[in-house]
Amino acid sequence: MTHRVALLTEIISPYRIPVFNALATHEGIDLKVIFLAETDPALRQWRVYKDEIRFSYDVLPSRRLRAGTSHLLLNAGLSASLKKLSPEAIICGGYNYAASWQALRWARRRRVRFVLWSESNAQDTRGQRKSVEFLKAHFLKRCDRFVVPGKSAFQYLRSLGSPAETIFTAPNAVDTAWFAMQAEKVKRQATAFREKVGLPSRFILFVGRLVPEKGIFDLLQAYAKLERDLRSEVGLVFAGDGASKKALFEQAKHIESRMICFPGFAEREDLAGLYALAEAFILPTHSDTWGLVVNEAMACGLPIVVTNVAGCASDLVEDGWNGYVVSPASPDKLSAAIGSLLRQPEKAQQMRLRSSERIQAYSPQACANGLAAAALAPFTESR
């Protein structure tokens, strides 16, 4: 028996397309994805890979209102889209959109099962305001099921009172097979790729928005604290763009190294190449619900240095096993972890293999299976 499922999410993200493609082929699921917008040009520079979409979808008319770092996304046509589909379950990606609340009300009035797909964790700095926490608690009480990407989000929902039996895990995923294949392809053309992008022969890598909350200035300080001989052999690459790029570039001028590079925003194909040739991936974030760049880096076989506030840390990285986990805003600890990796090539190689092994369980199909389990649970079992 097939059940109609509507999945509500913000934009057409490249890393979600493989997950939704897998979910659309899942036995028992008749999927319709409803996007609140095609993309967010102010924050996301990536290409929208519509040619890879294999699922049915709508993009709702939308308008964004911005004030400083906050923004409000308003949509039209959601009720009409839901009425046309007449879903038996709704999976809603998050609770911070007006459309999320509208979908919840629509589901409650029609006794449609409502599943919240939530990545929030206790370290998420967005959840420290009392007004936000009050609204969140109100929303959670009205949900039937929950889907989380991993341990941190699971524990957070439990702390807010959600019963464990209502929480399903859909491990956060990127197209691991594609990244691994593309990385191997670039390694066979390493010299040409280095020259194209302007990379040092050896380097550690950061990928993401160049903003303070990603810990980019901590990473720059940590690199400066490395011994001079290491800095003369191993460069630092910041791949991405953002409001702090100019300030970061200016600070980098004062560090004794000619190998700090800013290649800019990288599309998916070039991104895999950066991972392929890096010695390690560093995510020194101050707050991150997950950090899918870690999935990408591990798919390309990299050891990881990540802060313990990243949602992915407790699932993907074991301290001393496939990388290191450090406290945020701690350049000294970050530098020590990086130095340890660079000075122990045999151990780093072991970590590479372990990263490649662990990330296999975080596939688009595994994520789709978790989403399907949450959506179908009311139909297949009594709780």
- 372 with 292, same domain: the answer is no
Longest dimension (CA), the chain: 67
Average pLDDT across the chain, whole number: 94
Distances (CA, A) of 307 to 79, 186, 314, 321: 41, 28, 10, 15
- 166 with 189, same domain: the answer is no
- 229 with 111, same domain: the answer is no
Q: Are 359 and 291 in contact (CB under 8 A)?
A: no
* pLDDT of 126 strictly over 80: no
- 131 with 180, same domain: the answer is no
99-126 average pLDDT score: 92
- 369 with 338, same domain: the answer is no
- 169 with 182, same domain: the answer is no
Q: For the chain, what is the radius of gyration of the CA atoms? A: 21
Residue 290: predicted pLDDT: 97
Cβ neighbours of 151 (radius 10 Å): 15
* pLDDT of 382 strictly over 50: no
Q: What is the pLDDT of residues 224-241, one digit of tens each?
A: 999 999 999 999 999 999
260-275 average pLDDT score: 94
Residue 68: pLDDT band with limits 50, 70, 90: low
Q: Which one-letter DSSP state was computed for residue 218? A: H
Residue located via tokens 């992008």: 197
Q: How far is C-alpha 21 from the geometric centre of its chain's CA atoms?
A: 18
- 127 with 113, same domain: the answer is yes
- 194 with 242, same domain: the answer is yes
Q: Who wins on pLDDT, 380 or 314?
A: 314
Residue 125: predicted pLDDT: 60
Q: What is the pLDDT of residues 164-178, one digit of tens each?
A: 999 999 999 999 999
Report the domain count for the chain: 2
Residue located via tokens 């959670």: 140
107-132 average pLDDT score: 85
Structure-block tokens of residue 112: 């449609």
If phi > 0 it is left, if psi is from -120 to 50 it is alpha, else beta; for residue 273 that is: alpha
Residue 69: pLDDT band with limits 50, 70, 90: low
Q: What is the pLDDT of residues 17-36, one digit of tens each?
A: 999 999 999 999 999 999 99
282-311 average pLDDT score: 97
* pLDDT of 214 strictly over 80: yes
pTM of the predicted model, to two decimals? 0.94
* pLDDT of 335 strictly over 90: yes
Instruction: Read off the CATH number of the domain in which 254 is found.
Output: 3.40.50.2000
Q: What percent of the chain has pLDDT over 90?
A: 87
* pLDDT of 128 strictly over 80: no
Domain that holds residue 323: 176-361
- 194 with 152, same domain: the answer is no
- 166 with 25, same domain: the answer is yes
1-19 average pLDDT score: 95
Q: Are 72 and 101 in contact (CB under 8 A)?
A: no
- 208 with 356, same domain: the answer is yes
- 278 with 144, same domain: the answer is no
59-63 average pLDDT score: 95
